[in-house]
Amino acid sequence: MALGRIQVPARARRGEVVEARVLIRHAMETGFRREADGRAVPMNVVNTVTCRHAGREVFRAELGSGISANPYFAFWFRAEESGEVTVEWVDDAGERGVASARIEVS
């Protein structure tokens, strides 16, 4: 099950630069690991993370097998208007996840 969370400040002034924090639950299988019975576990990592706010993309990351399990991101963006800040991710198996948080801009 895709599970993740995003945190942004509840309130901000228009044009203020605010921090967003994202935590995604994912095993980030490198493809090098083997099960106890010797079977190779196929590579499956979150390959793309995008974050949108007020109709525009504010952050995008392309990940590989060097990123730890349960990746955590912190980044900054300019708060332009009230609304949802939505982060989406997709892994190599095609599983998608989404999480969002609301920010009030005054």
Partner 1 sequence: MRALAALALCACAAAAAAPPRPEPPLPGTHFLGSDLKALQADDFANPGLLWVARGEALWSEGAKPCAACHGEAARSMRGAAARYPRFDAGLGRVVNLEGRIDACRTGRQGLPAFAPESPERLALAAFVARQSRGMPLAVSVDGPARPVFERGRDLYRTRIGQLNLACTHCHDERWGKTLLAEPISQGHPTAWPAYRVEWQTLGSLQRRLRACFFGVRAAMPDYGDGDLLALELYLAWRGEGLALESPGVRR
Residue 40 or 69 with smaller CB distance to partner 1? 69
What is the length of the chain?
Answer: 106
Residue 21 interacting with partner 1 (CB under 8 A): yes
- What minimum distance in Å lies between the beta carbon of 21 and partner 1? 6
Per the DSSP assignment, residues forming a β-bridge with 89 are: 49, 97
Given candidates 12, 28, 51, 103, which one binds partner 1 under the rule CB under 8 A? 28
Q: What is the size of the binding site for partner 1 (CB under 8 A)? A: 14
DSSP string, 9-49: -SEE-TT-EEEEEEEEE---B-S--B-TTSPBPPPB-EEEE
Q: Are the C-beta atoms of 49 and 89 separated by less than 8 Å?
A: yes
Which residues here bind partner 1, judged by CB under 8 A? 1, 3-5, 7, 21, 23, 25, 27-28, 68-70, 72
